[in-house]
Amino acid sequence: MSGLLFRIAPPVMAVRRPHRMIERHLLAYRHQWLIIVSGFFEPLFYLLSMRAGLGDLVGTVRFGGAEVPYDQFVAPALMASSAMNGAIFDSTGNVLGRLKYFRLYDAALATPMTPADVAVGEIGWALLRGQLYAVSFLAVMWGMGLIGSPWVILALPACALIGFTFAAIGFAGTTFMRGWQDMDIVNTALMPLFLFSATFFPTSSYGKWEWVVQLSPLYHGVALVRAANSGVWTAGIIGHVAVLLGLALIALAIAARRLDHLLRK
Amino acid sequence: MSGPLITAHQLVKRFGDFTAVAGIDVEVRKGEVFGFLGPNGAGKSSTMRMIACVSPVTSGELRLFGLDPATHGSQIRGRIGVVPQMDTLDTELTVEENLRIYGRFFDLPRAECRRRSAELLEFAQLTERASSVVENLSGGMKRRLSIARSLINEPELLLLDEPTTGLDPQARHVLWDRLYRLKQQGVTLVLTTHYMDEAEQLCDRLVVMDQGRIVAEGSPRSLIEQHSTREVLELRFAAGTNESFEAQVAGLGDRHEVLPDRILIYADDGEGALAAAHARGLQPESALVRRASLEDVFLHLTGRTLVD
Amino acid sequence: MSTHRLATPGAFRVLTWHLVAYKRFWKANVLSSVVQPLLYMLGLGVGVGALVDSNTGSSDVLGGASYVAFVAPGLLVTTAMALGAMESMWPVMGGLRWSRGYHGIIATSLTPRDIVLGHGVWMVVRCGLASAAVAVALACFAETRSWGLAPGVVISVWVGLAFAMPIMAFSVNAEMDGSFAAVQRFVVIPLFLFGGAFYPLTQLPAAVAWVARATPLWHGVVTARQFTQGTVVWAAVLGHLAFIGLWVVGGTLVAERRMRKKLYQ
Ligand SMILES: Nc1ncnc2c1ncn2[C@@H]1O[C@H](COP(=O)(O)OP(=O)(O)OP(=O)(O)O)[C@@H](O)[C@H]1O
Ligand SMILES: [Mg+2]
């Protein structure tokens, strides 16, 4: 057993100082606070646009056996998507730059920091940023009267889980990238997730293709946030959490391994 | 701790099936300045990266402070300072922040980071630039900042991979002076260089590497004594004609080397050799007698010059 | 210059410079140019469209059109806008700072004006390709298939330039402090959402609608829509195109002045 553990987590994988990476980012973003602040507006604009423009056109949506106003239907999905987008944004382009072009990780690894510290630190940072946006988005939803139940507070841990999963996936994917040109793949991959995760219309619209939606990790995240906002919990929740958590752990293992391979040549 | 600080035994580094370091033995003692000398691709940086515990050893044995990098990498890195061949400064931070956050990577308390940053800025003569963004520094300033940064944890061992490449002569001398002071403070220095004068100036002991192997070892003086003569006579003839004079210079000194741009004649008495050349009726465009240097040692050992 | 005429105008020689760099990426690029709008059509158009069209009363707001048919020209024009904006931020900064390609160009007989005009020609090519790809995607659906897509592509290119040139002017002096992210999030995305592409401006509060009308995007969208829906009013078309032209010309002039100052400083 200890032999197995050792293989999964050799000494270079020890996680002791991931928070140092976060400390560094806090310092760096002091010069670029605009990036952090502006990240909050993207989902807000989507929400406002959906509410003002499409809300009227669509009217209500039949969901969970009730007619739900369109903005109330879309808001939790936007919250989940922005958790995904934020996490991916932080763990792909930024990580690629630090890995290949600014050599930040090379510098860090010349200190007692380990590749696992770097990986966990980056994912932790993406998570923190995601939580910041999630909290502010929740405040906006509250201000717009879109909160359906006090359970909505559980949307925060749900977004943390979404952020964790996608940050890990993004980080793992980035370790395979050749350069900036591969960022195009990320954008192309995100779009179907964003559009087809029961974000803008209910799964029933898909008819017999409904099951395909289940393949999207974001769908499980959206389902969690919607459940929180409506306060209706079903056994399916466990499944959604399990999918996200499972994906996150697999991606995390790949990320730490690849990072070790890339940086400790 | 009385044993050697670094011991490497049959150290090998392979990238795929390419062998960058082909089994070298090195011992570095506490307090000495040790140099790796060699041409491009000799395997200097590969060796340095293994010593810095950022590159796993392919085979052979490596110990720093008696510890194995494979199992105690993090602890070892905590006690050393590293100046990589290419600067890895944080371009999103200011000069002072670079030092400060690096100290945090070593778990130093914040106040201590600030104190040492201020000291090191002074040491690197960058105090005025403390709040500049790194991007706007000159090459020499970046190099000095890299060195200052590597000292933030007050390392017992400092690894410098080509610390002065790309610096102008004045900046180089300032740097040598700084390194000399560190040595006096008891810091062990390991450095690589292409420059013979640098090795002669700084190193107590050095190895010459070529194609992943060590081809000579010793103090700068002893290497010169073993592999060269006291003086060297350099003769330059009209461009492209050096070759044709090979037969005529034979026997002027102990040995000679014909290079594309000049002929080197090794003799303990350079002036005497020059007089003899004139006596043979040779009319070089220019002639120069100089002291032998590590450059000559390298040329003798590998048959190649060491200018980049 | 008067005695020595160049064989090809400088702007086109700068274009060749862009083309050489693009050669390595064009395949992946064209692919995502087709795939992304297809996905948008399937997601927003068809999915949300079903919701909108089943809501009685929406059809009046949309001028009798189905939602998909209404959105199609919006997709065409916003694609060009996003690309024109994007390609005039990091690449321009790169040409000045990292790869320093622009410095290489003015070391020849070419001038800063050639760089700016060359960038314009390059944007015509890129936006043309991208919106043509969207047009191909739209032609796959019976509801959106129309000859009006062809003039729609031309209008898109014009709008693309109306964003590319002013943003190029902005990028010349931009710092790496997150201002590009701000342009993306405070200009491009809000326009994408509120610029009349997904619903008529009448749905929005009057003040927001007027801001949208001041930007080139809305003018492009309504003009393209006249062509795809076969409701062309030529005087209006000319007026809209002239308004967009103001942005193109203004942007070009400022960009040239700033580029000259930057490169010859
Ligand atoms: N990560 C790597 N992958 C593959 N080959 C490598 C890698 N790093 C170094 N090499 C190869 O190993 C050889 C030795 O390289 P190294 O960088 O150690 O040389 P060096 O002595 O430091 O040369 P220089 O004076 O140019 O810095 C070179 O042929 C180089 O191409
Ligand atoms: Mg090297």
A–C CB contacts, 8 A cutoff, strictly below = 115
Residue B94 placed within a domain: yes
Residue B57 placed within a domain: yes
Query: How far apart are the C-alpha atoms of A240 and C260, rounded to whole Å?
Result: 57
Query: How far apart are the C-alpha atoms of A11 and B56, rounded to whole Å?
Result: 12
Average pLDDT over residues C39-52: 83
Instruction: Please give the pLDDT value at position C177.
Output: 67
Count of alpha carbons within 13 angstroms of residue B122, beta-carbon side: 6
Contacts by B54-59, CB closer than 8 A, 24 or more apart: B54/A106, B54/A109, B54/A110, B54/A263, B54/A264, B54/B82, B55/A264, B55/A265, B55/B13, B56/A264, B57/B11, B57/B12, B57/B13, B58/B12, B58/B13, B58/B14, B58/B21, B59/B10, B59/B12
Average pLDDT over residues C153-170: 97
The parent domain of residue B281 ranges over 229-291
Supply φ then ψ for residue C134, to 5 degrees: -65, -40
Average pLDDT over residues C212-241: 95
Contact A32 C50 (CB under 8 A): no
The parent domain of residue A126 ranges over 2-264
Query: How far apart are the C-alpha atoms of B59 and C158, rounded to whole Å?
Result: 63
Average pLDDT over residues C52-61: 83
The mean of the pLDDT values for chain A is 86
Q: Give the containing element (helix H, strand E) for C97.
A: helix C90-97
Average pLDDT over residues C123-137: 92
Average pLDDT over residues A46-70: 87
pLDDT digits (tens, 9 = 90+) for B85-143: 999 999 889 999 999 999 999 999 999 999 999 999 998 889 999 999 898 888 888 99
**pLDDT of residue C264 exceeding 60:** yes
pLDDT confidence tier of residue C254, bands split at 50, 70 and 90? very high
> In sequence order, what are the beta bridge partners of C168?
none
C24 touches chain A (CB under 8 A): yes
For chain B, first and last CA: distance in Å? 39
**pLDDT of residue C2 exceeding 70:** no
Q: Which ipTM was obtained for this model?
A: 0.86
Residue C47: burial class (beta carbons within 10 Å; 0-12, 13-18, 19+): buried
Instruction: Examine the domain organization and report whether B72 and B23 are in the same domain.
Output: yes
Residue B223 placed within a domain: no
Cβ of residue B38 lying under 6 Å from some atom of ligand 1: yes
Q: At what angle do helices C67-86 and C216-228 cross, to 10 degrees?
A: 140
Q: From ligand 1's centre to the CA of B165, what distance in Å?
A: 16
CATH code of the domain containing B251: 3.30.70
pLDDT digits (tens, 9 = 90+) for B178-205: 899 899 999 999 999 888 888 888 999 9
Instruction: Please give the pLDDT value at position A6.
Output: 40
CATH code of the domain containing B46: 3.40.50.300
pLDDT confidence tier of residue A4, bands split at 50, 70 and 90? very low
Structure-token pair, residue C120: 């314009």
Higher pLDDT, B253 or A184: B253
Strands B263-267 and B231-236: antiparallel
Instruction: Please give the pLDDT value at position A151.
Output: 93
Share of chain C above pLDDT 70, in %: 97
The mean of the pLDDT values for chain B is 90
The amino acid that residue B1 corresponds to is: M
Instruction: Examine the domain organization and report whether B251 and B141 are in the same domain.
Output: no
Instruction: Examine the domain organization and report whether B212 and B274 are in the same domain.
Output: no
pLDDT confidence tier of residue A8, bands split at 50, 70 and 90? very low
Question: Given the structure tokens 């057993």, which residue do they identify?
Answer: A1
Note residues around ion ligand 2 (Cβ under 5 angstroms): B 44-45, 85
**The Cα angle at residue C75 between residues C69 and C76, in degrees rounded to 5:** 100
Number of domains, chain B: 2
**pLDDT of residue C35 exceeding 80:** yes
Q: How far is A93 from chain B (nearest CA, A)?
A: 15
Q: Give the containing element (helix H, strand E) for A92.
A: none
Instruction: Please give the pLDDT value at position B308.
Output: 43
Contacts of A107 in chain B (CB under 8 A): 88-90, 102
Between the alpha carbon of residue B219 and those of residues A60, B202, B204, the distances in Å are 86, 11, 6
Residue nearest to atom 9 of ligand 1 (CA): B46
Residues of chain B falling short of pLDDT 70: 1-2, 304-308
Average pLDDT over residues C83-107: 87
**pLDDT of residue C236 exceeding 90:** yes
Structure-token pair, residue C34: 């087709």
Instruction: Please give the pLDDT value at position B250.
Output: 85
Query: How far apart are the C-alpha atoms of B207 and B212, rounded to whole Å?
Result: 12
Cβ of residue B20 lying under 6 Å from some atom of ligand 1: yes
Residue B50 placed within a domain: yes
- Quote the DSSP letter at residue A64: T
Residue B298 placed within a domain: no
Structure-token pair, residue A71: 């903005």
Instruction: Examine the domain organization and report whether B212 and B104 are in the same domain.
Output: yes
For chain B, the C-alpha Rg in angstroms (whole number) is 22
Instruction: Please give the pLDDT value at position B69.
Output: 93
Instruction: Please say which residue of B174, B197, B218 terminates a domain.
Output: B218
Query: How far apart are the C-alpha atoms of B179 and B185, rounded to whole Å?
Result: 10
The mean of the pLDDT values for chain C is 89
**Which residues 6+ apart lie within 8 Å of A181 measured at CB?**
C24, C25, C28
Residue nearest to atom 12 of ligand 1 (CA): B20
pLDDT confidence tier of residue A26, bands split at 50, 70 and 90? very high
**pLDDT of residue C243 exceeding 80:** yes
pLDDT confidence tier of residue C6, bands split at 50, 70 and 90? low
Contacts of C189 in chain A (CB under 8 A): 42, 45
CB B139 within 8 A of CB B167: yes
Cβ of residue B46 lying under 6 Å from some atom of ligand 1: yes
Longest dimension (CA), chain B: 73
Residue nearest to atom 1 of ligand 1 (CA): A265
Count of alpha carbons within 13 angstroms of residue B93, beta-carbon side: 22
Instruction: Please give the pLDDT value at position A203.
Output: 80
Instruction: Please give the pLDDT value at position B30.
Output: 94
CB C204 within 8 A of CB C210: no
Q: At what angle do helices A18-28 and A115-143 cross, to 10 degrees?
A: 60
A154 touches chain B (CB under 8 A): no
Q: At what angle do helices A236-263 and A155-174 cross, to 10 degrees?
A: 30
* Number of Cβ within a 10 Å radius of residue C45: 28
Instruction: Please say which residue of B195, B218, B241 terminates a domain.
Output: B218
Instruction: Examine the domain organization and report whether B102 and B43 are in the same domain.
Output: yes
Instruction: Please say which residue of B176, B199, B218 terminates a domain.
Output: B218
**pLDDT of residue A207 exceeding 80:** no
For chain A, first and last CA: distance in Å? 29
Cβ of residue B45 lying under 6 Å from some atom of ligand 1: yes
Supply φ then ψ for residue B285, to 5 degrees: -70, -35
Q: What is the 3-state secondary structure (H, E, C) of chain B?
A: CCCCCEEEEEEEEEECCEEEEEEEEEEECCCCEEEEECCCCCCHHHHHHHHCCCCCCCEEEEEECCECHHHHHHHHHHHEEEECCCCCCCCCCEHHHHHHHHHHHCCCCHHHHHHHHHHHHHHCCCHHHCCCEHHHCCHHHHHHHHHHHHCCCCCCEEEEECCCCCCCHHHHHHHHHHHHHHHHCCCEEEEEECCHHHHHHHCCEEEEEECCEEEEEECHHHHHHHHCCCEEEEEECCCCCHHHHHHHHCCCCCEEEECCCCEEEEECCHHHHHHHHHHCCCCCCEEEEEECCHHHHHHHHHCCCCCC
Q: Report the range out of A116-120, C19-23, C159-163, C191-195 with the highest average pLDDT.
A: C159-163
Q: Give the containing element (helix H, strand E) for C110.
A: none
Instruction: Examine the domain organization and report whether B80 and B161 are in the same domain.
Output: yes
Residue B301 placed within a domain: no
**pLDDT of residue C120 exceeding 90:** yes
Chain A: residue whose CA lies nearest to B13: A265
Residue B145 placed within a domain: yes
Which stretch of A35-49, A72-86, A211-225, C219-233 has the lowest confidence by average pLDDT?
A: A35-49
Instruction: Please give the pLDDT value at position B1.
Output: 47
- Quote the DSSP letter at residue A197: T
DSSP string, A25-43: HHHHTTTTHHHHHHHHHHH
List the single residue in A31, A113, A265 with the smallest CB-CB distance to B105: A113
Instruction: Please give the pLDDT value at position B306.
Output: 54
Q: Is A95 helix (H, G, I), strand (E, B) or coil?
A: helix
List the single residue in C176, C189, C204 with the smallest CB-CB distance to A52: C204
Cβ of residue A208 lying under 6 Å from some atom of ligand 1: no
pLDDT confidence tier of residue A7, bands split at 50, 70 and 90? very low
Query: How far apart are the C-alpha atoms of C21 and C42, rounded to whole Å?
Result: 33
Query: How far apart are the C-alpha atoms of B238 and C68, rounded to whole Å?
Result: 81
Q: Is C124 helix (H, G, I), strand (E, B) or coil?
A: helix
A123-133 per-residue burial string, b: 16 or more CB within 10 A, e: under 16: bbbbbebbbeb
Q: From ligand 2's centre to the CA of B200, what distance in Å?
A: 19
Number of domains, chain A: 1
